[in-house]
Chain A
């Protein structure tokens, strides 16, 4: 059974650029959640996708957008990068909607984004 994978592992971008981060969910999981973890802080919820539809969003501006594909993999896109976007971006996959999406949530290793 393959776990949650994320790519790339590290990324350096310049302020104003756009970035795409990718996540492959664990086999059998159809829900993907994205979190931003700034240095020294706990992860903050960005949004969640269930069966290719957005299913909840945190307090992040519209320049943070996402996609989920038919195979349940997912992308996080960030436009007009700002210095404060520098963080570890974590993807978590789970099976089902609602409570089960939090009950058994498996995290990937994250993508470290640095914006200069």
Chain B
């Protein structure tokens, strides 16, 4: 069975600082991994995804994530935080059955200090 753990329910960084949001997964088969962002009172927006191939994945808004099989991790990073990055971030893995449903972590709220 697939599952996702996001370490840290809240992460606070200064504007311009490195953003690092942690995600570890559990999967008995090669996973498909996703990061979504949710702004207040909005739905989820896909930031980036890993399926196969290159393990360093670049997404929108300057975010990237690296799939590390040996560490079962898919951490999200951004070199320099902007105030507009303040939001809730969710890591997700697909369930490998006919529905390919997304299994989400509990989320990390990113706070950006001026």
Contacts and interface: CB of A to CB of B under 8 A. Distances in A.
Interface string A42-79: 11110010000001111000000000000000000000
A41 B36 CA distance: 14
A101 B100 contact: yes
B39 to A, nearest CB: 10
Given A4-B43, A102-B32, A109-B41, A45 B101 contact: yes
A69 to B, nearest CB: 19
Interface stretch (B55-63, B75-83, B91-99): B91-99
Given A42-B106, A90-B44, A98 B100 contact: yes
B97 to A, nearest CB: 7
Interface residues of B, number: 27
Nearest to B105: A42
Given A41-B106, A42-B90, A103-B51, A108 B101 contact: no
Contacts of B104: 35, 42-44
Interface in B32-62: 32, 34, 36, 41-46, 49, 51
A105 interface: yes
Interface of B: 4, 32, 34, 36, 41-46, 49, 51, 90, 92, 94-95, 97-107
Interface of A: 4, 33, 35, 40-45, 48, 55-58, 90, 92, 97-99, 101-103, 105-110
Q: Top 4 A-B pairs ranked by shortest CB distance?
A: A56-B99, A42-B104, A107-B43, A102-B100
